Amino acid sequence: MQNVGTVIWHWIEVIAHAVLNLFFKLIGKELTQSQFDAFMQFVKFGIVGVSNTVISYVLYAVSLIGFQKAGVLPKSDYLVAQVIAFVLSVLWSFYWNNKLVFVLEEGKQRSVWKALLKTYVSYSFTGLFLNSILLILWVQVVGISEFIAPIINLLISVPLNFVINKFWAFKQK
């Protein structure tokens, strides 16, 4: 008997294939298996990313509340909670990306420690550096709301992070 996750993933693939097929027919092209596989890999990356965002926020909130209740940190020291959330959520993301998204082909190998280090570098670049610069651009230069700007950042940072992870952090030998 199949588990619920397998059944749900099967239906996600069926629906995605139908939608992509329709889109490709509308533009007069044929959807290839490799195009579909690449799209589904990006979908998996997105699902891991959403779970990573939830995990990061939960870790941040739990760390912040825990430190405050224990009296270990001053109330305003949210940066320690942010570092803990970042370190652990990137570890979460690495685990699932390694296991589900960027799966090794038969006979291929990668250094797990090297891939983990590259993942931290990638997330540091896109999640900290790039998003900060883009927030300043959107809010202070363009005048976009500080509540909308992070959503716009996702449109840039998620695909960029996918490419960095696929072709650098999780590159197969």
The predicted pLDDT at position 154 comes to 86
Alpha carbon distance 45, 164 (integer Å): 12
What's the average model confidence in pLDDT over 136-158?
89
C-alpha 139: how far from chain center: 23
Q: Which of 99, 102, 89 is nearest to 170 (CA)?
A: 102
The predicted pLDDT at position 79 comes to 75
The chain-wide mean pLDDT, for the chain, equals: 88
Q: Which residue has the higher pLDDT, 171 or 41?
A: 41
Q: Is the dihedral of CA 111, 113, 116, 118 positive or negative?
A: negative
Per-residue pLDDT tens digits for 48-91 = 999 999 999 899 888 888 877 777 766 656 778 888 889 999 99
Whether the pLDDT of residue 150 is over 90: the answer is no
Tokens (6 digits) for 111: 């250094």
Long-range contacts of 113-116, Cβ-Cβ distance < 8 Å, separation of 24 or more: 115/169, 115/170, 116/91
> Which of 23-27, 37-41, 78-82, 95-99 is predicted least confidently?
78-82
Report percent pLDDT > 90 for the chain: 54
Q: pLDDT-derived band of residue 173, with 50, 70 and 90 as boundaries?
A: low
Helix H segments across the chain?
4-26, 33-70, 78-96, 112-123, 131-136, 149-164
Alpha carbon distance 117, 110 (integer Å): 12
Burial 15-44 (b: 16+ CB within 10 A, else e): eeeeeeeeeeeeeeeeeeeeebeebbbbeb
Per-residue pLDDT tens digits for 20-35 = 999 999 999 999 999 9
Q: pLDDT-derived band of residue 97, with 50, 70 and 90 as boundaries?
A: very high
pTM of the model: 0.80
The predicted pLDDT at position 1 comes to 60
By three-state DSSP, how is residue 111 classified?
Answer: coil
Whether the pLDDT of residue 104 is over 70: the answer is yes
